[in-house]
Amino acid sequence: MYSKMLFLRFDKNSVDKPIVWHLVKDYDLTFNILKATILPRKEGILVLELTGHRKNFNKGVKFLRDQGVHVQTMGQDIKRNKKKCYHCGACTAVCPTGALWIKRPEMEIVFDKKKCSACELCVPACPPRAMEVRVMEKLLM
């Protein structure tokens, strides 16, 4: 079995289609949704772990691209720069996995890297830009 974490961006033309359903039905793939968001302009973001036989996985990714879905692997590494962080808590509001949380009563931000799915939602949410990405992602062909 082959498994990868994927970041999918759906445009407004594909956000209402049952695209992920086809991955299961037509390509015998299983998935675990880690984060799903529909943005105001009707664009969608989906972070998922996709699993199946490698041949089916590659066919499924090709299907996604053919449907206009932007597909990226989730091979990046998220780090918190402790010197920049002023513990405002903005990052904790957007973290879907609970990797970022507020330690009480100290009111300090704690980053549990083991829980991080590398979705990058914390990066733009952080006012001092203390959440940093070491890019290792690549566009799947």
pLDDT (tens digit per residue) in 48-65:
888 899 899 999 999 999
As a whole-number percent, the residues of the chain with pLDDT over 70 amount to: 92
* pLDDT in the model for residue 136: 54
CATH architecture of 77-134: 2-Layer Sandwich (3.30)
Where do the H-state alpha helices sit in 1-131?
19-27, 54-66, 90-94, 122-125
pTM for this entry? 0.55
* pLDDT in the model for residue 44: 86
* pLDDT in the model for residue 106: 94
Instruction: Decide if pLDDT at 138 tops 70.
Output: no
Fold held by 2-73: Alpha-Beta Plaits (3.30.70)
Mean pLDDT of 11-22: 86
Q: Is the fold of 2-73 the same as that of 77-134? A: yes
Axis crossing angle, helix 54-66 with helix 19-27, rounded to the nearest 10 = 150
- For residue 96, the one-letter residue type is P
- pLDDT tens for 35-46 read 888 877 788 888
Closest CA to 34 of 18, 22, 51: 51
CA atoms within 13 A on the CB side of 22: 12
Mean pLDDT of 113-120: 80
Q: Where are the domains of the chain?
A: 2-73, 77-134
* pLDDT in the model for residue 107: 94
Print burial letters for 93-102: b (CB count within 10 Å at least 16), e (below 16). ebbbbebbbe
